[in-house]
Amino acid sequence: MQQYDLISLRSFITVVEAGSFIGAAELLEASTAAVSRRVSSLEAALGVKLLNRTTRQLDLTEAGRVFYADVVNIFLSLDEAEEKIRSNSETIKGTLRIAAPLSFGIACLSPALGGFMRRFTQLKVQLLLDDRLTDLVGEGIDLAIRIGSLKDSTLVASHIGDINRIFCASSDYLDERGEPQTLSELSQHNWLDYNLTSSREEWRYINGKAIELSGSLSTNNGDVLKDAVIEGAGISLLPEFIVAQGLEQRQLQEILSDFRPEPLGLYAVRPSRKFTPSKVKVMIEFLREICD
């Protein structure tokens, strides 16, 4: 059997996890052609076809599935060994890729990130702000910050804190339309909806019947909703960290304070591994500090 190197093996694993040669090339900082050559070299050395390549999709062969399952933990073990050495040297270094929701990243993480970087001067941070759910493995994310319920059981989550949400409106809107006194009265108002939360949330139901909410704006970003509420467009339910300044400056007014929903969980999520890298540990600890 021909010999193959670790670079070819890592390229194969990355292609599988990224789902494409293009995605793997970005993660490995190599050309697509180079990654393809490495995988082909691995296949030649093994004497088997590992991947079925078509113009539309990429699939593992049966041999590829077996081989991937057997070798995927090799690099996890190598990474863990390297990380233990770094931990023993008490120097946190390398690159930490973090994904966070846009509004949370700007309001909470951005003001504190400089302090974190001053504390760990040899650590490079790559911060991705996006309200979509990132693919941690496919996009090479070390740590993602997520708010609300977690659906992916393959990930490891650390509870960081809780996010309170507040029903709010502007005084101009309330002067014009009146202030609702109960949740059911929201059906008579222009509801500005954050569409990444579930319409099955408990607070939206009274005696098992859904409150009929409708309005002129639906978006996946809380800051857009906040601005619309400040301008008197309607009523919304928003995280406290987004509306705190508006409430303090009396641009916004809390309503229905007796009906606040249960807080949402704030989590630091990482790929499932037995060993947590030191750079991830220190970021989780830092997040707990700033969210305390």
Q: Are residues 203 and 256 in the same domain?
A: yes
Q: Are residues 79 and 211 in the same domain?
A: no
Residue 64 lies in a domain: yes
- Boundary (domain end) residue, out of 70, 87, 104: 87
**Residue-number span of the structural domain to which 198 is assigned:** 165-262
Cα angle 10-99-39, degrees, rounded to a multiple of 5: 15
pLDDT computed for residue 278 by the predictor:
82
Is 0.85 surpassed by the pTM of this model?
no
The backbone torsions φ and ψ at residue 57, rounded to the nearest 5 degrees and listed phi first, read -150, 170
pLDDT computed for residue 273 by the predictor:
61
Q: Are residues 185 and 128 in the same domain?
A: no
Q: What is the mean pLDDT of the chain?
A: 86
Q: What confidence category does residue 169 fall into, taking pLDDT thresholds of 50, 70 and 90? A: very high
Chain position carrying tokens 């113009």: 55
- Boundary (domain end) residue, out of 38, 59, 87: 87
Q: What would the mean pLDDT of 154-161 be, rounded to a whole number?
A: 82
pLDDT computed for residue 225 by the predictor:
95
Q: Are residues 242 and 169 in the same domain?
A: yes
pLDDT computed for residue 151 by the predictor:
67
- With contact defined as beta carbons under 8 Å apart, do 112 and 252 qualify? no
Q: Are residues 245 and 123 in the same domain?
A: no
Residue 1 lies in a domain: no
Residue 140 lies in a domain: yes
Q: Are residues 175 and 257 in the same domain?
A: yes
pLDDT computed for residue 283 by the predictor:
92
Residue 235 lies in a domain: yes
Q: Are residues 212 and 131 in the same domain?
A: no
pLDDT computed for residue 154 by the predictor:
63
Minimum mean pLDDT among 93-107, 140-154, 163-177, 241-255: which range? 140-154
For the cut 70, the answer to whether the pLDDT of residue 152 exceeds it is no
Residue 179 lies in a domain: yes
Q: Are residues 56 and 118 in the same domain?
A: no
For the cut 50, the answer to whether the pLDDT of residue 89 exceeds it is no
For the cut 90, the answer to whether the pLDDT of residue 130 exceeds it is no
Residue 60 lies in a domain: yes
Q: Are residues 123 and 51 in the same domain?
A: no
Residue 42 lies in a domain: yes
- Boundary (domain end) residue, out of 67, 87, 107: 87
Q: Are residues 208 and 119 in the same domain?
A: no
Q: Are residues 21 and 156 in the same domain?
A: no
pLDDT single digits (tens) 227-258: 999 999 999 999 999 999 999 999 999 999 99
C-alpha dist (Å) from residue 199 to 116, 195, 244, 256, 265: 37, 8, 24, 19, 17
pLDDT single digits (tens) 199-210: 678 888 888 888
Q: Which residues of 262-283 are buried (b: 16+ CB within 10 A; e: fewer)?
A: eebbbbbbbbeeeebbbbbbbb
Radius of gyration, CA atoms only, the chain: 24
Q: What confidence category does residue 2 fall into, taking pLDDT thresholds of 50, 70 and 90? A: low
Residue 281 lies in a domain: yes
Share of the chain above pLDDT 90, in %: 37
Q: Are residues 183 and 250 in the same domain?
A: yes
Q: What confidence category does residue 215 fall into, taking pLDDT thresholds of 50, 70 and 90? A: very high
CATH code of the domain containing 77: 1.10.10.10
Tally the domains of the chain. 3
Top-confidence residue, 206 or 165: 165
pLDDT single digits (tens) 66-86: 888 888 777 766 766 666 655
CATH code of the domain containing 187: 3.40.190.10
- With contact defined as beta carbons under 8 Å apart, do 97 and 68 qualify? no
Structure token pair of residue 259: 């009906």
